[in-house]
Structure 1
Amino acid sequence: MPKQKTSRAAAKRFKITGSGKLKRNKAYKRHILTKKSTKLKRTLRKPAMTDSTNVKNMKKILPYA
């Protein structure tokens, strides 16, 4: 069997937790931060789990993670 290719874009953006879930960073934290509240910016810092509807596709492009 040939080796499967890992999507390098996905590999840089997602990490696998110990229980096998996918951890991701939240969007909207890069620029135009002056109009966003401090509370919003603080919550955007924390990582989030990938939604269960996307996990099947994510595992396909991250075969060795």
Structure 2
Amino acid sequence: MPKMKTSRAAAKRFKLTGTGKLKRNKAYRRHILTKKTTKNKRNLRKAAMMDASNVKQMKKILPYL
């Protein structure tokens, strides 16, 4: 059997934590920041965990992560 291919786009966006969960960055922090509150921007800095409903699909496109 040939090797499975990793989705390179997904591999650049997600990291695996020590416990095996998927870590992701939050959206809406690239531009148009003037109308967003300081509190909102501060909370967008922190990384978030991938939702449990999406983990099965992500493991399929990231077989070696």
TM over 0.5: same fold?
Answer: yes
Using the TM superposition, give the Cα deviation of residue 33 of structure 1 relative to its aligned residue in structure 2, in angstroms. Answer: 0.1
Write out aligned runs for 1:1-65 (5 A): 1-65=1-65
Using the TM superposition, give the Cα deviation of residue 47 of structure 1 relative to its aligned residue in structure 2, in angstroms. Answer: 0.1
- TM-score (normalised: structure 1): 0.99
Inter-partner Cα distance in structure 1 for 2:2 and 2:20: 24
3-state SS of paired residue (2:23): strand
Give ranges in structure 2 of 5+ residues lacking alignment: none
- Structure 1 runs (4+) deviating above 4 angstroms are none
Inter-partner Cα distance in structure 1 for 2:58 and 2:47: 17
Identity, in percent, stands at 80
Give ranges in structure 1 of 5+ residues lacking alignment: none
Q: How many residues align?
A: 65
- TM-score (normalised: structure 2): 0.99
